């Protein structure tokens, strides 16, 4: 696999070509100082632009000066407004899905700059985007700067039963899987033939030939009968979850001449454990329980106090 394959799957590489068939989004380039802040240990929120305007407060009781990103904050707030006040955040490739436990309502729905920061800072998936996006690429290709970006997408209610992962080889749909493999959705099995036909049709009309790669994994949401929205493009290799298939099967299907197959869970007994189970108890809390890193609790509590202070300030304003 080469670096370009991964780069072609990053959000801003494909969004413009599919804008009519995907969720409205804004892309904001991230300054290196903000990327560094995301990579730092410990969770503390930056000074808001209002706090900077009021006074130059330094973090009391800490040797660290709280960083501030007033320009970025202004851009993010403008984008949130443009997108209707509720957004779904991600970076070039990944959303902070492993961190939803930290947010109110266990959801990735964000209303403010701080909501977004809290998720990004708490997520291992985001760290992966920042530190090793080219994991399976040839060693010689690892180097090189990535322009990181924050993607904000209009919040859209997506019923998990209507999300599908579509595997495309040589620009043809070779396999389709229900996206959430930890649930049985009784409405899906009777629709298998319809959905297979519709997805093939959607792909051939609106996607084939317009994506920069021959092989890719496309996530779609069936909004209505025969009506689809593109949720994401992902690399065609093991960095992408193979859902109800295995990568061995998928490579065989790509290189062979088989009929497109749609797999879904057909009965309650067929459900697979959620891949996010490992994240339901934050590993930071597991560290606490085992006493390996007490500083993490301190960081977490400081951040919570800070967040509550900030929201009290907002309310008083
Ligand atoms: N705009 C949105 N509003 C609400 N929920 C969304 C939105 N976009 C995506 N989601 C939900 O979040 C899930 C993950 O989104 P997305 O596929 O962009 O993340 P990802 O990190 O690329 O995931 P993966 O690692 O599996 O490729 C989607 O399956 C969908 O259920
Ligand atoms: Mg993805």
| pLDDT recorded at residue 95 | 97
> How high is the pLDDT of residue 268?
83
Please state the φ and ψ torsions of residue 263, each to the nearest 5 degrees: -110, 135
* 217, 234 Cβ separation under 8 angstroms: yes
Domains of the chain: 24-155 (no CATH), 160-270 (3.30.470)
Task: Ligand 1, residue 153: give the atom nearest the CA.
Answer: 1
- 98 touches 115 (CB < 8 A): no
Give the residue whose CA is nearest to atom 5 of ligand 1: 156
Residues 6+ apart with CB under 8 A from 71: none
Query: Ligand 1 center to residue 75 CA distance, Å?
Result: 22
| Closest ligand 1 atom to Cα of 241 | 26
Atom of ligand 1 nearest to the CA of 23: 1
**Ligand with the closest atom to the CA of 95:** 1
What spacing in Å lies between the alpha carbon of 316 and ligand 2's midpoint? 39
Residue closest to 92 by CA, chosen among 206, 237, 242, 232: 232
- Torsion over CA: 291, 296, 297, 298 (sign): positive
Q: Are the CB atoms for 152 and 87 separated by under 8 Å?
A: yes
Alpha helices in 160-259 (DSSP H): 192-202, 247-255
Residue 226 backbone class (left: φ over 0; alpha: ψ -120 to 50; beta: rest): left
Q: What is the pTM of this model?
A: 0.85
What pLDDT does 272 receive?
73
Q: For residue 126, give the nearest of 117, 136, 139, 137 by alpha carbon.
A: 117
Alpha helices (H) in 203-294, listed in sequence order: 247-255, 277-280, 283-289
Q: What would the two tokens of residue 149 be? A: 């970006």
Tell whether ligand 1 has an atom less than 6 A from the beta carbon of residue 165: no
- The residue whose CA is least distant from atom 30 of ligand 1 is 158
Largest CA distance in the chain: 67
Q: What are the helix (H) ranges across the chain?
A: 3-8, 11-14, 32-39, 49-54, 70-82, 113-122, 124-131, 192-202, 247-255, 277-280, 283-289, 295-316
- The CA distance from 257 to 174, in Å, is 9
CA of 231 to the centre of ligand 1 (A): 7
Summarize pLDDT for 3-15 with one digit per residue, the tens.
Answer: 999 999 999 999 9
Give the residue, out of 232, 234, 276, with the most ligand 1 atoms within 8 A of its beta carbon, to mutate for a pocket test: 232
What pLDDT shows up at residue 142? 57
Query: What pLDDT score was predicted for residue 296?
Result: 61
pLDDT by 10s per residue, the chain, length 317: 789 999 999 999 999 999 999 999 999 999 999 999 999 987 778 888 777 776 555 555 555 567 899 999 999 999 999 999 999 999 999 999 999 887 767 899 999 999 999 999 999 999 999 998 998 887 666 556 899 999 999 999 999 999 999 999 999 999 999 999 999 999 999 999 999 999 999 999 999 999 999 999 999 999 999 999 999 999 999 999 999 999 999 999 999 988 999 999 998 877 777 766 666 555 655 555 444 555 666 666 677 677 767 766 666 55
Q: Please choose from 82, 88, 94, 233 the residue to mutate so as to test ligand 1's pocket, defined by most ligand atoms within 8 A of CB.
A: 88
Q: Nearest C-alpha to atom 25 of ligand 1 is from which residue?
A: 94
Neighbours of 41 (CB within 10 A): 7
* Model pLDDT, residue 10: 97
Token pair 């530190």 in the structure block, residue: 131
């Amino acid at each position: 696999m080469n670096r370009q394959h991964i780069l072609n799957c990053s959000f801003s590489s494909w969004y413009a070509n599919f804008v009519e068939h995907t969720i409205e989004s804004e892309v904001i380039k991230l300054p290196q100082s903000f990327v560094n802040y995301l990579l730092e240990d410990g969770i503390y929120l930056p000074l808001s632009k209002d706090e900077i305007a009021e006074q130059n407060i330094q973090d009391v009781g800490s040797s660290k000066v709280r960083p501030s990103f007033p320009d970025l904050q202004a851009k993010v707030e403008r984008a949130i407004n443009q997108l209707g006040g509720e957004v779904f955040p991600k970076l070039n490739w990944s959303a902070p899905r492993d961190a939803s436990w930290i947010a109110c309502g266990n959801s990735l729905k964000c209303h403010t700059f701080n909501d977004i920061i809290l998720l990004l800072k708490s997520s291992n998936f985001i760290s992966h985007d920042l530190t090793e996006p080219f994991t399976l690429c040839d060693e010689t290709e690892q180097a090189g700067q990535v322009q990181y970006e924050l993607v904000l997408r209009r919040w859209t209610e997506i019923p998990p039963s209507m999300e599908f992962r579509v595997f495309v080889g040589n620009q043809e749909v070779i396999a389709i899987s229900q996206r959430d493999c930890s649930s049985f959705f009784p409405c899906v099995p009777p629709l298998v033939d319809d959905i297979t036909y519709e997805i093939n049709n959607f792909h051939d009309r609106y996607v084939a030939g317009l994506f920069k790669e021959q092989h890719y994994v496309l996530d779609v949401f069936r909004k209505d009968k025969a009506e689809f929205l593109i949720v994401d493009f992902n690399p065609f290799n093991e960095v992408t979850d193979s859902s109800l298939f295995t990568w061995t099967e998928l490579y065989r299907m790509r290189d062979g001449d088989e009929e497109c197959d749609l797999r879904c869970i057909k009965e309650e007994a067929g459900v697979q454990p959620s891949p996010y189970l490992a994240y339901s108890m934050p590993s930071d809390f597991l560290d606490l329980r085992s006493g390996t890193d007490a500083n993490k609790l301190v960081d977490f509590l400081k951040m919570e106090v800070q967040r509550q202070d900030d929201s009290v300030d907002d309310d008083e304003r």
